[in-house]
Structure 1
Amino acid sequence: MKDRVIITQGTYVASAVKKDQYPEGNLPEIVFIGRSNVGKSSLINSLTRVNNLARVSSQPGKTQTINFFEVGVKIEEAEERKAFYLVDLPGYGYAKTGKEKRKIWSKFIEEYLLHSPRLSFVCQLIDSRHEPMASDVEMFNWLVDNGLPVLIIATKVDKIGKNERAKNIAAIKRKLGIKEISVLPYSSLKNEGRSDLLDVIGDSLLE
């Protein structure tokens, strides 16, 4: 079946740790955030189908800047092509960095999330194999408390069976404290969930 939303290009634009380093222009921004090693870079590469657009590392905490990628899309019901910034934020939770450095990180991430005028929504990635950790719940609550729209994506679903998947997704909803929240299952390896995520992105670009 043909995808309704097709990504036509994905290019790296900028890395930033402060406002004056953000790229110029008025493109909407869709943000990806998650614990270190949740599979964020793999998901970005799977979504855009651009190999190594986001660098995949086996060492948690490798992304230490806010990385902006310009992504072009063709949406079935739109005459003109659209574009957005895919924004990759540093992983929270475990990282081989001292407390002071983590404080600086969290400050510039908070600054970006609270003050970017172009932010459309945040994709928070949670590893489907485990219950959300305290840092996941804390991040989710912080995003909601600050009025930021959040889409929860359960990563690495290819690594668990169907029954376990249903059970673990229910556990994610329970732990986040919102039963009716929708959780999008995603496998970067098999591109499962890709069309669903593209549909959500397409809808937000048409608003």
Structure 2
Amino acid sequence: MKTVSGNFVKSVATGGTLPHDTGPVVAMVGRSNVGKSSLINTLAKSPIARSGSTPGTTRLLNVYYLNFPKKIQTTFVDLPGYGYARGGNNTNHIFEELTTDFFTRMISSQKNKNTKTITPFLSGIILLVDIRHPGLESDQETKSWLTANGYPLIIVATKIDKLSRSQLSQTHRKHELFLESRVLPVSNKTKEGISPVRLAIINLLKDSSQ
């Protein structure tokens, strides 16, 4: 089970639009420097994803196309990271404005039977957390907001290669207890855990197509 292709499409600022031929949309959400771009590259098996050279500097939505076996083209949207931003309050305002614009205007959480609609349908969200830092309030608040709004959610804990096996077991359990959800551990460096993440995404797409 593997991703067969992927490519960068465009970057979108506040007030912009997603491509109209997107197919299902999966949004990537997480703290700055958590590894969203790296996960996209791992899924695509190619360095297609862009990221700011300094954590907290990405101020655009980055859009990618990924094709999974026997599935239509899927659009991944990498949202700016939360929790840390260079540039002070103005940058934080840009992040909040752009994220709000994405969820309220750029995409729809409901399928539209009108085939002429140009509003892409959000199939689900991947929330990325850093395996080394369980119990962060910003992760909990984000997860609670996404759940309250009814978005299908996959939670992925990145950077597991940074911990020993005993540390990984303990922190993984802490994440699941704190977030009250299943958490998929993965390493974008060693690729450990990527197969369950791919499977979860494929199941997410299947569920949203029904």
The alignment's TM-score, normalised by the length of structure 2, stands at: 0.85
Shift of 1:132: 3.4
Query: What do residues 77-121 of structure 1 show as CA deviations (whole Å, max 9, x unaligned)?
Result: xxxx52100110100011102213312321221231244121111
1:124 is aligned to 2:127: yes
1:173 is aligned to 2:176: yes
Change (3 A) 1:205 1:146: closer
- Distance in 1, Cα, partners of 2:204 & 2:154: 12
Query: What do residues 110-151 of structure 1 show as CA deviations (whole Å, max 9, x unaligned)?
Result: 231244121111111110012232211111111112111221
Residue 137 of structure 1: aligned partner: 140
Shift of 1:25: 2.1
Residue 91 of structure 1: aligned partner: 81
Aligned length: 194
Task: Please say if residues 131 and 168 of structure 1, whose CA atoms lie closer than 8 Å, have aligned partners that are also in contact.
Answer: yes
Query: What SS is found at the alignment partner of 1:10?
Result: strand
- Distance in 2, Cα, partners of 1:188 & 1:122: 18
Shift of 1:55: 2.4
- Distance in 2, Cα, partners of 1:71 & 1:189: 20
1:103 is aligned to 2:93: yes
The alignment's TM-score, normalised by the length of structure 1, stands at: 0.86
Task: Please say if residues 82 and 205 of structure 1, whose CA atoms lie closer than 8 Å, have aligned partners that are also in contact.
Answer: no
Task: Please say if residues 6 and 44 of structure 2, whose CA atoms lie closer than 8 Å, have aligned partners that are also in contact.
Answer: yes
Task: Please say if residues 72 and 83 of structure 1, whose CA atoms lie closer than 8 Å, have aligned partners that are also in contact.
Answer: yes
Q: Unaligned regions of 5+ residues in structure 1, if any?
A: 76-80
Q: Unaligned regions of 5+ residues in structure 2, if any?
A: 109-120
Whose strand proportion is higher, 1 or 2? 1
- Distance in 1, Cα, partners of 2:53 & 2:165: 26
Identity of aligned pairs, percent? Answer: 34
- Distance in 2, Cα, partners of 1:187 & 1:131: 16
Shift of 1:57: 4.7
Query: What do residues 39-87 of structure 1 show as CA deviations (whole Å, max 9, x unaligned)?
Result: 2211111111112x11255510132111110111214xxxxx5210011
Residue 68 of structure 1: aligned partner: 63
- Distance in 1, Cα, partners of 2:191 & 2:153: 21
- Distance in 2, Cα, partners of 1:146 & 1:136: 16
Shift of 1:26: 4.7
Residue 72 of structure 2: aligned partner: 82
- Distance in 2, Cα, partners of 1:44 & 1:68: 11
| 1:16-27 pair list within 5 angstroms | 16-27=12-23
| 1:6-17 pair list within 5 angstroms | 6-17=2-13
What letter corresponds to residue 152 of structure 1 in structure 2? I
Task: Please say if residues 50 and 62 of structure 2, whose CA atoms lie closer than 8 Å, have aligned partners that are also in contact.
Answer: no
What letter corresponds to residue 98 of structure 2 in structure 1? F
